[in-house]
């Protein structure tokens, strides 16, 4: 399973592993509320200054991060914001969420947790 996911999310470019955002088709078929919860647990944090959840997506290409935010808006109805981050080479964006979106994420995270516990 992890090997399959590595092939979807990483590529070798000039002998370096580079993160890739999967295609919209792949995300639409496979990226669920549970997957978003896991992404937040692994690559997210609570920004106390802005009272929001932030996703550390700056290592994806900026256009991939923007595409992913549009996917989140379309599939889950989340309102996304961006915070620009300077990188060693170039820049990237972190994704943040509106207050209403944070409440929605909490709601479906609890719902997903309940359905997993029922298994």
Structure token pair of residue 42? 């692994």
Question: Average pLDDT in the 41-68 region?
Answer: 94
Domain 33-117 is found in CATH 3.10.28.10: yes
pTM score of the predicted model:
0.84
Domain assignments of the chain as residue spans, ordered by start: 33-117
The closest of 37, 104, 51, 93 to 68, measured between CA atoms, is: 93
The closest of 46, 48, 59 to 109, measured between CA atoms, is: 46
Structure token pair of residue 76? 């889950």
Q: Quick: pLDDT tens for 67-101.
A: 999 999 999 999 999 999 999 888 999 999 999 99
């Amino acid at each position: 399973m992890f090997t399959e996911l590595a092939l979807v999310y990483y590529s070798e470019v000039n002998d370096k592993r580079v993160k890739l955002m999967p295609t919209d088709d792949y995300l639409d078929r496979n990226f669920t509320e549970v997957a978003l919860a896991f992404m937040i647990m692994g690559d997210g944090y609570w920004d106390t200054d802005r009272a929001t959840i932030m996703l550390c997506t700056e290592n994806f290409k900026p256009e991939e991060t923007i595409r992913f935010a549009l996917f989140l808006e379309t599939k889950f109805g989340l309102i996304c914001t961006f915070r620009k981050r300077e990188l060693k080479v170039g820049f990237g964006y972190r994704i943040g969420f509106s207050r209403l979106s944070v409440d929605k994420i909490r709601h479906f995270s609890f719902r997903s947790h309940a359905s997993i516990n029922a298994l």
